[in-house]
Amino acid sequence: MIPEFHYRVRWRSHRAHPGHHRSNQVGGGDEFAGHAPLVAYPDPRNIDVHATLHDPFGQLMVRLFRQRSSLPVYVIADLSASMGFGSPRRKLDTVADFTAAAAYSAYRTGDPFGFFGGDEALRWDLHLPLRWYKGVSPEFRRKLATSEPLGASAAALRQIAPLLGRQRSLVFLVSDFHFSPDDTAALLDALIHHDVVPIVVWRDEEYTQLPTWGWINLQDPETGECRRMFMRPGVRDDFQRRFAKRREELGTLCQCYGRKPFFIAKELDADRLSEYFLTGS
């Protein structure tokens, strides 16, 4: 069963298509937006007698209401080599599951959905244009989960911003964010026009399930560099401190751009993500 989460934004949608979210479009909603002459908005049902009697030009005045509109929802996924980490479930399995949940949640909310992914180059074979879907197909989900991440970086993600269109969108940026703070800031800068929700995919075996004693082999999946290290309690504690520090720094940086990151360790907790939107944290 595909999990569903509920999201909301603090800004008004500019789309004319009716939907679930607050909008700046005048239409058949129930949020009062002011008065205007009947000749400008010819809907006699909304004539306001009190406003008409007080109009200095003697015009018939009508009440205006804002409609509720849809908004574009995108998932932008990091498909670089580090996203292949994990066994038996890789980070890409989590990316595929989250994308399916986001697409289904957008469908249930009445919003169009789109998907972009990339590493050093955009992955057009995994692109979904912005449309109304009934969730992603099982074939797309399987193709995304079983794709082979080989790129040495996620630099191509910065190229996606101009492809999202001019209207403000809700963007789920899914990555392990294992790149420098400068690269993270540059990516968030590129997406500054949109409402970006950083979804951080980490695995416990990266830093919490390390042995206390013994030799371990470490490999950077993006550079291919290997290192053999003798693990001991002090080194293990240092690993965990570094990840804790990285988590704190990432939270501070992302919050400067509007939202705190949402961390996924294994499986998506849809209720916790809904709470994230309701509480703003």
Q: Sign of the CA dihedral 265, 127, 168, 16?
A: negative
* Helix, strand, coil percentages, rounded to 5, for the chain: 35, 25, 40
- CA–CA separation, 159 vs 169, rounded Å? 16
- CA–CA separation, 267 vs 38, rounded Å? 54
Q: What domains are there in the chain, each with its CATH number?
A: 18-69 (no CATH), 73-279 (3.40.50.410)
- CA–CA separation, 24 vs 177, rounded Å? 34
What percent of the chain stands above pLDDT 90?
Answer: 59
Give the per-residue pLDDT at 242.
83
Give the per-residue pLDDT at 225.
67
Judged by DSSP in three states, 77 sits in strand
Label residue 219 by pLDDT band (50, 70, 90).
low
- CA–CA separation, 174 vs 142, rounded Å? 17
Mean pLDDT of 33-60: 90
* Residue 195: pLDDT over 70: yes
- CA–CA separation, 54 vs 228, rounded Å? 83
Give the per-residue pLDDT at 216.
67
Mean pLDDT of 240-248: 87
* Residue 256: pLDDT over 60: yes
* Residue 214: pLDDT over 80: no
List, as one string, the DSSP characters of 112-180. -EEEEEESSSB-GGG-EEEE--SS--HHHHHHHHT-----S--GGGGGGGGGG-SS--EEEEEE---S-
List, as one string, the DSSP characters of 28-55. EEEEEEEEEETTTS--GGGB-HHHHHT-
Q: Sign of the CA dihedral 62, 66, 67, 70?
A: positive
Mean pLDDT of 16-38: 86
Give the per-residue pLDDT at 234.
78
More confident residue, 216 or 110: 110
Which secondary structure element, helix H or strand E, spans residue 21, and what is its range? strand 18-37
From the list 159, 103, 158, 105, the residue with the least C-alpha distance to 131 is: 103
* Residue 53: pLDDT over 80: yes
Q: Which residue has the tokens 């240092």?
A: 238
- Burial pattern 135-166, b for ≥16 Cβ within 10 A else e, equals bbeeebbeebbebebebebbbbbbebbeebee
With beta carbons less than 8 A apart as the criterion, state whether 18 and 68 touch. yes
Please tell me the least confidently modeled range out of 72-76, 81-85, 175-179, 238-242: 238-242
Mean pLDDT of 93-122: 96
- CA–CA separation, 145 vs 128, rounded Å? 15
Give the per-residue pLDDT at 223.
59
* Residue 224: pLDDT over 90: no
Mean pLDDT of 232-239: 78
More confident residue, 14 or 207: 14
Q: And the tokens for 204?
A: 């416990």
Instruction: Provide CB contacts within 8 A for 68, sequence distance 6+.
Output: 18, 19, 20, 21, 22, 23, 29
Give the per-residue pLDDT at 86.
76
Label residue 237 by pLDDT band (50, 70, 90).
confident
Give the per-residue pLDDT at 281.
59
* Residue 222: pLDDT over 60: no
More confident residue, 93 or 230: 93
Give the per-residue pLDDT at 74.
98
* Residue 150: pLDDT over 70: yes
Mean pLDDT of 239-262: 90
